[in-house]
Amino acid sequence: MVTTPTGSLRTQPQAERLPPQDPDAEMALLGAMMMGRDAIAEAIPIIGREDSAWFYLPVHQKLFEVLLDLYDDPAKAIDLIVVSDELKRRDLLDFVPQEYMIQLAESFAEWSNAEHYAKIVRDKGMLRDLIRCAGEIAEEAYAGVDEARDILDTAEQRIFTVTERRISGQAVAIRQAIARLKEQLHRKDEGGCTGLPTGFHDLDEYTGGFQFGDFIIVAGRPSMGKTALGLTMSQNMAVGTRAPVAFFSMEMSKDQLVHRLICGHSGVDSQRLRRRMLSEENIHDLLTSCAAMEDAPLFIDDTPGMTAMELRSKARRLKQRADIQAVFVDYLQLMHTPRAENRQVEMATISRGLKSLARELNIPVIAMAQLNRMPEGRQDKRPLMSDLRESGAIEQDADVVLLIHREEYYKPDDESAQGKAELIIAKQRNGPTGRVELQFDKKRTTFRNLSVVPEPYGMDTEAVPF
């Protein structure tokens, strides 16, 4: 830090600082890699072919790329002579002199240290990437050409790109994988589900609950009840099993969502609450539900038009603060990505981001999605997975796709269809597909298990304004 004449502090100019680097570690790693395939095999999971810029010196970057090319040919031995011949063949000996390669070979200790050196090179390279990103973000902020929110979105995307290059997935011994399976089996013995129960018994029979790390799509045409189903599931999780849940709504406000939740829980007609025509019994039931739900670990965010990066950042904070066990997104097509080439690319980016979020936090991410108009033109109005709007990437990324169908919407005079909903399990990566029947309560805008039909709620004759 430098003290200015006024006594305030400012940071040193960027030009006065050397970027993070460790040439000795780079030399030791390359020296080990030139001595055989074992060291290269240790380095590749940490520094991939696209990461050669993590080496600070250009000569090291070029040599690393040559070594990986040689490694790709299993018939080729790798040693100092083979590497030298390959450099000569590519006319690169002036760029990577033979004397320097001998110097690298002499810096080699033993190949078993290659992983250690590779991690040092990776970490220094990532720090340089962060510095570069920070500089670009600062330039855009100073320029002030774009809106602040757009600059923030771009900044998050740049940082995310750097963090995505970390190698988080490593091979594990089968013992570790079996240990996780045994934990799941114990959970199933205790609660009947290996995942997070939705509260809908027949659906949980099919899925074993929503599995941790899964990306789940709940799709339907407008007015089919996507939000209602998502809210009911989140309520079942947060109130029924006390699992902390985040609900991100880009369509409805917090107040609207809470009204729906309380009406669904209390059994009070939502129209009565909206019109403030409530009986004393209604008020008592609503207050009882408020008391039952006010301490539920359910977090609602109604920020409109969020980007995948914004949502991901908020979910990470909630995971750290409250250990959330599920994320609901209502709904997918209301999210956006800055500077996307077209809507299809935008939807693919958002879908991929939500899938990554599920994997990163190891929780189910449940996204509501809009279907296109194709079901309206068919004789059988039941939706198909191909009816998902704007991107085939959604059905490709999803581990589970649930499609909502309510025949009563199309046949309002058919008594047999009234109050019934069909949940079509159109895709389940690790389980069967099928159909589940649910009860839909229009007056309270909620779903219930069809096997448990509650007593009908009548409109009270004595009602007071509220």
Q: Which residues are catalytic?
A: 251
CA nearest neighbour of 216 among 354, 70, 317: 354
In the block, tokens 């999971």 appear at 45
CB atoms under 10 Å from CB of 287, counted, come to 12
Radius of gyration of the chain (CA): 29
Strand partners, 301: 248
Q: Is 350 exposed, middle or buried (0-12, 13-18, 19+ CB in 10 A)?
A: buried
Distances (CA, A) of 391 to 213, 340, 349, 424: 22, 13, 10, 20
Q: Which amino acid is at 88?
A: K
